[in-house]
């Protein structure tokens, strides 16, 4: 597609439930990133996929968070046993390479009640 697509745009879930957030990057972009944006905070890096290399998971805040990227394209971020502190906007971005800068999706606003 023309841009980075994220779904759903909004998600309300009960504490303790699992959620899956989807990102469809720009076709041909080899790099894909997940960030989290909490109210009043900057962007917190979560995970980075580059081609067929092992992902850089150094930003994942706990083992409740995981992500995969199938076929070098679509990525899913999974949060297990959601907690209220997981409430945030989850942003996905893709790029040809870091030097080109990222193209961001519009994000998924996750609310844990």
By the criterion CB under 8 A, which residues form the site for other proteins?
A: 4, 31, 33, 35, 40-43, 45, 48, 50, 56, 59, 91, 93, 98-99, 101-107
Between 53 and 83, name the residue whose CB sits nearer to other proteins. 53
What's the closest the beta carbon of residue 81 comes to other proteins, in angstroms?
26
The CA dihedral of 43, 40, 14, 62, to the nearest 10 degrees, is 40
Between 14 and 28, name the residue whose CB sits nearer to other proteins. 28
In this structure, the number of other CB atoms found within 10 A of the CB of residue 26 comes to: 18
What's the closest the beta carbon of residue 43 comes to other proteins, in angstroms?
4
């Amino acid at each position: 597609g023309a841009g980075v697509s994220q779904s759903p745009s909004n998600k309300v879930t009960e504490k303790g439930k699992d959620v899956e957030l989807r990102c469809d990057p720009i076709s041909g972009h080899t790099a894909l990133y997940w960030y989290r944006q909490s109210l009043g905070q900057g962007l917190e890096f979560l995970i980075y996929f580059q081609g067929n290399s092992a992902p850089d998971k150094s930003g994942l805040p706990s083992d409740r968070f995981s992500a995969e990227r199938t076929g070098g394209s679509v990525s899913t971020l999974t949060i297990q046993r959601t907690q209220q502190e997981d409430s945030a906007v989850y942003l996905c971005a893709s790029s040809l390479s870091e030097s080109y800068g990222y193209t961001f999706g519009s994000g998924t606003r996750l609310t844990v009640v």
